[in-house]
Each structure stands twice: as C-alpha cells, then as structure tokens.
Structure 1
Amino acid sequence: MITIRSARQDEAAILADVGLRAWEKAMIPVGETKAMVENARLAFWNFVSSEWLTITVIEQNGDVAGWAARENLDEDITDFWIDPVFQGQGLGTALLAAVEGEIRHLGFEKATLETHAMNREGLHFFEKHGYSVHWLTVAYNPKLDRDIQTVGLAKAFVAPEPVGYGQEF
C-alpha cells in the first residue's frame, strides 16, 4: 500500500539516509563521490532536521521509500529522492503527482526543479512527466575540482496563450 504524507520531525535520520542513498546513485556519473559522502550525509541531516515541515514523504507498506521538498513552499521542488531499492515501482510518479498537486492548489502555474546534467535517469524521469529544460549553466565545484553542468527544468500546468498578430475577429 502506498501512503503519501507530510514528514514528521522524529524521522530525520531515515529521511537523511534515503536522500543520501538516492544522491549517491544520482552522482555516480559525476564521479569521486566517496570524498563527498560525509559532507552530503551532514547536509541531508541538517536539511531534514530543520526543513521537515516542507517535506512530503512516500511510503510503501509502511517503509519510507522517498521524499520531496519545497523549501519555500512555492513552485520550486528543491529535493526529490526515491530510495534506489524502491525505484522503478511507480513511487516517484505518485510522489511527483502529489507534490505537483500541492503546487497547483496554491495557485502556481508551473513547477520547477534542477539537477546535474549527467543525471540521465532523473532527467528522463522528469521529461517523461512533462518537464522540459529551461536553462543550463556550468559552475565550478570546488569539492570535485571541476566544472559541473546544472539543468533547470519546468512544467507548465496551464497552456500558454497563443501569441499572434493583430486582433481576433
């Protein structure tokens, strides 16, 4: 049974572990993640401990399978993590639909997110669900001592108004 709910303050450790496992898988194409694991573990712990009110959790049969966050409770999905052992079971699709529902309910016309450009699985997942690339940037990452490309994605909930010339009669 799938359950989608708000995070609880007392589950920071499990949310941090799920996020870290999903992050490690997503970072494989970038390489050299072993040196960054402890920093990432601490970052996940700090985030879920302080921002748990902005997190939506998905469970399967009572086990936390993933979570998503909207740090500013706006249209920007700042975190989206499905534990690798639960990937490919439709849980990401269900969680994304729930988060998009929250965004729509608040009156936003689109959802946005970003990921690194080598996260092919993540990019494919979001593109399959209607997201398209809106920007690409390259920034130096001192921990990896190299430039990393970041992709910004967006999904419009409302069809854009047609743009034309002159008045319609």
Structure 2
Amino acid sequence: MVVTGLTIRRIAPADHEAVGVVGFAACAAADAFEDSYRDPEVIAKVQHEFAVFPHQAQAEIFVAELDAEIVGWGAREGEPNYMSDLWVHPDHQGKGVGRALLLHCCELMAAEGLATARLDTHARNAGAIRLYEHCGFTIIWHGIEFSKSMGVPLEKVHMEKRLVD
C-alpha cells in the first residue's frame, strides 16, 4: 500500500514533542506486551523514554508527515545498518506509513553501501513482524533480552535484510 501525500524527512527540533507522543501511543496500543509490563511505573518510564529520545539519542531520526501532522517516525541508532525504532500512531497503522519509513531507511543504507539492514522487535508483535517480512526481512534470532526503556526482560526477535547482492 502506498500512502498518498506522505512526506518523509529528517526530524526538526519543533518535532520532538510530537515524536514522543506518537512513539508512546504506538507502544501503548501494541498488544505484544504482557499485562505485567503495563504497571504504572513501567508506563511512566516508557512515556518518559519516548519524550526524551529525540533530545538525547545519538540517532538519525526521520518523521512521516501527513497533512502537516507527524503520523510516524523511524530512527537509525548505534550501528549504521541498525534501525532502532519504527513507530506509527495507531490511527495510521496499516496504511503504508511504516512500510514507507522502513523502505526509506533501507534505501539510505543501501546507498551508503551497507550489505544488510537490521532491526529488533517484540516476538509477539505480529503486525510489525509481518510488515518486516513483507519488506524482505527474516528472523535471525529469537530469545529474551532486557529492555532498558521498559526496565523488564522481553521476548524479542532480531531481523535482517540483505541490501546488496
């Protein structure tokens, strides 16, 4: 699906608050997380992490904008071929926003001569895994990892896509 009128661009300082709001809304709406991870302390920690991420992260962040509203964002952080974040507001999920952001970042990585693109997600995040697989990613690892942002262990998958042959 292609989203008509969607613009993907680098984040601007004026976008920071909206990026935090979109990320937290997408995370809170996900059904991938166990109920035990939704206690008020964890929720407050996650909301704070999303609010400060655009200010503190050493990341390359891209926003997806539709009708002058930020509806999603993605980030490359750490290794140049690692996509650390991909979040789409629940009101805009399933409409091609995540796919557009993901492919945009993969195209940048390929243009930089990187051989692979990598990302991680919660193992029960079936919608995200389906999106990533449709965009050419495959699961290369499945296990338990500690989430710094949530402060709890999570069941995760690591995924990878070949960018050049």
TM-score (ref. length: structure 1): 0.84
Matched, 1:22 2:45: no
Distance of aligned partners of 1:150 and 1:14 in 2 relative to their CA distance in 1, 3 Å threshold? same
What is the correspondence of 1:78-157 to structure 2 with a 5 Å cutoff?
A: 78-139=84-145, 148-157=154-163
Cα drift, residue 50 of structure 1: 2.1
> 1:88 offset after TM fit, Å?
1.3
1:11 lines up with 2:15 in the alignment: yes
Write the distance in 2 (CA, Å) between the matches of 1:87 and 1:8.
23
Q: Quick one: higher RCO (CA 8 Å, sep 6+), 1 or 2? A: 2
Structure 1 distance, partners of 2:162, 2:67, is 32
- Alpha carbons 1:133, 1:151 under 8 Å: kept: yes
Is the alpha carbon distance of 1:11 and 1:107 closer, same or farther for their aligned partners in structure 2, counting shifts above 3 Å? same
Mean Cα deviation higher: 5-14 or 45-54: 45-54
User: What's the CA shift for 1:149?
Assistant: 1.4
* 1:2 and 2:6 are equivalent in the alignment: yes
Aligned residue type for 1:2: L
Number of paired residues?
158
How far apart, in 2, do the equivalents of 1:63 and 1:52 lie? 24
Equivalent position amino acid for 1:30 in 2: E
Give unpaired runs (5+ residues) of structure 2. none
- How far off its partner does 1:90 sit? 1.1
Deviation track 1:35-80 (CA, whole Å, cap 9, x = no partner) reads 2221011111121112376101101111101000011360000000
Q: Deviations over 1:81-128 (max 9, x none)?
A: 011101111111111111111111111011100011111111111111
Structure 1 residues 113 and 140, CA gap change in structure 2 (3 angstroms): closer
Contact kept in structure 1, 2:115 and 2:164, CA below 8 Å = yes
Determine the structure 2 residue equivalent to 1:164.
none
Considering only aligned residues, what root-mean-square deviation do their CA atoms show, in Å?
Answer: 2.2
Residue-by-residue CA offset, 1:3-53 (whole Å, 9 max, x unaligned): 110001222111000000111122554223242221011111121112376
Specify every segment of 5 or more residues in structure 1 that has no aligned partner in the other structure, as ranges: 160-169
Q: Computing the radius of gyration over CA atoms, which structure comes out larger, 1 or 2? A: 1
> Structure 1 vs Structure 2: percent identity of aligned residues?
25
Please tell me the residue identity of whatever aligns with 1:108.
Answer: L
Scaled by the length of structure 2, the TM-score of the pair is: 0.86
What is the aligned partner in structure 2 of residue 61 from structure 1?
A: 67
